[in-house]
């Protein structure tokens, strides 16, 4: 064999030996790296499995209060959020969101590896976590489970593991809807619906293109770029979203310019939403009786109440405009005698009521002028004729104990006076009790059960419904021949002023006095003006 042949054979042998050793090195290296990678994947998958995925859908929303005429007048409980369905989200808003936050949302399986690679290269260049590559699915996972740890590989890997679980369970439409329902938009607004109502006074489904682009734009800086806090910054974010749409050829530059010229119709932050703090406040108590603790915390209910929003506003205005001495209080309540609906409640003169409600919680002496129709009714119940203008004579036709028991049929639970003082109106009553008593007279002796909550719904499903109910307090022959339309007068100690308006569809009662009883002094014109205003409310 020649030298050249032996040399070629030697080189081939060395090459095979090198390739064999390199393959062994590569295989062992890969195996060495693969084991910790698999262990890491398993570890984060295990950590992600500890999270309850049902929380993705569980978002505390406000419980909405609706008057009996369908007018929404307030919200209570839960977070400042209202949920929308996927079909309520405008297509243009989705287009803006994809362009701004996650252009490959409909293509990837939760993690956009192309975006992740770009962000990784940028972070390596900056030697810091300056860039993120969070998809909408990853943001949903992070916001749901409050993963607020400083940017780190540990948090990012956990996010990725959680995101794959989310994508495996929820379809894209639901992920998008849950995302928009959950994220914060500034000004106390959680979710897209609350943001649309707060900033523009319209639901999400009615947002125009400019409004949609603005709301998507402020997602990255909801506090700093809230249009109420920084309109210039919010408009800049809107324009960036539109520019991105032009770049991706979703719209033309001419369309972007047209959208910029469209009015945002931004609401004045100082304007009042259609609501009544008195009406909303008073409903907390009955709702806490109907609901359990979980429902109260979670919210998201629709409560059909007895409140007549227009009448509620009218009575609030009446109380605010009635001139009274310093420190004097005032309360009012309206009831529908036909079914017991509590139409309006105002428990104090302050615009922002406290927990103590004088219309429900306070009991004060009634007085002769207001007790007369009640005394006439119980006299007729026992077969006696009421003597107009002479309460004591009317009352003395009855035994005192029997008179007390008959008055209790009206629903009174307070303290009763003794002897002739009882017939002169020394009986401690609340406004709700008095309105119920007058309603009983109007209803021919059938006492309506007062009610605040008529129906309770969750996602259009009825959880609770209460039909009207009546208690047969008096026989039909006890009905007075004529029922006074307006009543007013003071208690015997002159510490309380009462007024009432009695109609077939509504009964309104008003009380004026000091919380700590003392002589009530004011111009007589106040009583006259009060009666006139009550007459007007009765005609509404």
Q: Is the pLDDT of residue 130 over 90?
A: no
Residue-wise pLDDT for 98-108, tens only, equals 999 998 898 88
Structure token digits, residue 519:
């002589």
483 found inside a domain: yes
Residue-wise pLDDT for 257-302, tens only, equals 999 999 999 988 866 554 567 877 788 778 777 676 556 556 778 8
- Give CA–CA dist 146/4, Å, rounded: 72
Q: Which of 223, 246, 261 is the last residue of a domain?
A: 261
Which residues contact residue 146 at a Cβ distance below 8 angstroms, ignoring those fewer than 6 apart? none
105 found inside a domain: yes
| CA 99 vs CA 183, 346, 525: distances in Å | 17, 50, 67
Q: Which domain holds residue 137?
A: 81-261
- Residue 48: what pLDDT? 63
- Give CA–CA dist 435/271, Å, rounded: 34
Alpha helices in 360-470 (DSSP H): 368-381, 391-396, 400-408, 420-423, 431-442
The stretch 223-233 carries a mean pLDDT of: 93
User: Rounded to two decimals, what is the model's pTM?
Assistant: 0.71
Share of the chain above pLDDT 70, in %: 83
Q: Which residues pair with 364 in a beta bridge?
A: 429
| Better pLDDT: 160 or 383 | 383
- Give CA–CA dist 23/249, Å, rounded: 49
Same domain, 86 and 177: yes
64 found inside a domain: no
Q: Quick check: helix, strand or coil at residue 470?
A: strand
Q: Which of 33-42, 47-56, 112-121, 129-138 has the lowest mean pLDDT?
A: 33-42
| Better pLDDT: 148 or 211 | 211
- Residue 129: what pLDDT? 45
- Residue 458: what pLDDT? 81
Same domain, 329 and 473: yes
Same domain, 330 and 251: no
Q: Which of 225, 244, 261 is the last residue of a domain?
A: 261
- Give CA–CA dist 265/49, Å, rounded: 45
Q: Is the pLDDT of residue 328 over 70?
A: yes
| CA 237 vs CA 13, 76, 92, 230, 242: distances in Å | 67, 32, 16, 11, 9
Same domain, 321 and 466: yes
12 found inside a domain: no
Structure token digits, residue 223:
């506090």
Residue-wise pLDDT for 57-101, tens only, equals 877 777 888 899 888 887 777 677 888 999 999 999 999 999 999
| Better pLDDT: 458 or 245 | 245
Please give the tally of structural domains in the chain. 2
Same domain, 317 and 385: yes
Q: Which band of pLDDT confidence, cut at 50, 70 and 90, is reported for residue 119?
A: low
Same domain, 107 and 212: yes
Same domain, 368 and 499: yes
The stretch 187-192 carries a mean pLDDT of: 88
Alpha helices in 50-149 (DSSP H): 91-101, 113-126, 136-144
Q: What is the CATH number of the domain that holds 198?
A: 1.10.3810.10
Give the torsion through C-alpha atoms of 529, 535, 537, 538, to 10 deg.
160
Same domain, 251 and 382: no
């Amino acid at each position: 064999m020649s030298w050249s042949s032996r040399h070629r054979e030697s080189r081939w042998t060395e090459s095979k030996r090198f390739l064999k050793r390199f393959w062994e090195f590569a295989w062992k290296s890969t195996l060495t790296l693969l084991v910790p990678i698999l262990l890491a994947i398993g570890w984060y998958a295990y950590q992600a499995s500890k999270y309850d995925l049902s929380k993705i859908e569980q978002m505390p929303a406000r419980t909405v209060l609706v008057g009996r005429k369908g007018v929404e007048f307030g919200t209570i409980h839960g977070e400042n959020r209202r949920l929308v369905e996927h079909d309520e989200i405008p297509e243009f808003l989705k287009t803006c969101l994809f362009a701004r936050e996650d252009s490959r949302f409909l293509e990837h399986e939760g993690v956009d590896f192309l975006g992740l690679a770009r962000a990784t290269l940028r972070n390596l260049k900056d030697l810091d976590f300056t860039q993120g590559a969070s998809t909408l699915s990853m943001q949903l996972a992070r916001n749901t489970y409050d993963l607020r740890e400083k940017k780190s590989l540990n948090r990012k890997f956990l996010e990725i593991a959680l995101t794959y679980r989310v994508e495996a369970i929820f379809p894209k439409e639901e992920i998008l809807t849950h995302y928009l329902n959950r994220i914060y938009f500034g000004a106390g607004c959680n979710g897209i619906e609350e943001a649309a109502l707060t900033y523009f006074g319209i639901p999400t489904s009615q947002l125009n293109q400019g409004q949609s682009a603005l709301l998507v734009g402020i997602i990255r800086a909801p506090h700093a770029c809230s249009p109420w806090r920084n309109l210039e910054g919010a408009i800049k974010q809107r324009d960036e979203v539109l520019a991105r749409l032009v770049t991706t050829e979703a719209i033309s530059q001419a369309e972007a310019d047209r959208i910029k010229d469209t009015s945002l119709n931004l609401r004045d932050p100082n304007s009042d939403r259609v609501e009544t703090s008195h009406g909303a406040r008073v409903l907390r108590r009955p709702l806490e009786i109907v609901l359990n603790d979980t429902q109260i915390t979670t919210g998201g209910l629709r409560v059909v109440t007895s409140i007549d929003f227009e009448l509620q506003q009218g009575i609030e205005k009446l109380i605010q405009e009635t001139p009274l001495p310093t420190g004097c209080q005032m309360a009012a309540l309206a009831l529908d005698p036909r079914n017991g609906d509590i139409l309006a409640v105002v428990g104090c003169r302050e615009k922002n009521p406290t927990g103590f409600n004088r219309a429900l919680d306070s009991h004060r002496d009634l007085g002769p002028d207001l007790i007369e129709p009640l005394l006439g009714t119980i006299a007729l119940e026992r077969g006696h004729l009421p003597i107009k203008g002479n309460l004591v004579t009317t009352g003395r036709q009855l035994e005192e104990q029997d008179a007390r028991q008959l008055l209790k049929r009206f629903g009174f639970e307070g303290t009763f006076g003794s002897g002739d003082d009882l017939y002169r109106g020394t009986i401690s009553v609340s406004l709700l009790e008095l309105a119920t008593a007058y309603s009983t007279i109007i209803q021919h002796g059938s006492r309506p059960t007062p009610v605040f909550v008529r129906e309770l719904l969750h996602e259009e499903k009825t959880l609770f419904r209460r039909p009207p109910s009546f208690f047969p307090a008096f026989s039909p022959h006890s009905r007075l021949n004529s029922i006074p339309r307006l009543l007013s007068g003071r208690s015997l100690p002159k510490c309380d002023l009462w007024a009432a308006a009695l109609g077939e569809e509504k009964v309104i009662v008003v009380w004026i006095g000091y919380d700590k009883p003392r002589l009530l002094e004011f111009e007589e014109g106040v009583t006259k003006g009060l009666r006139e205003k009550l007459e007007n409310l009765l005609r509404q």
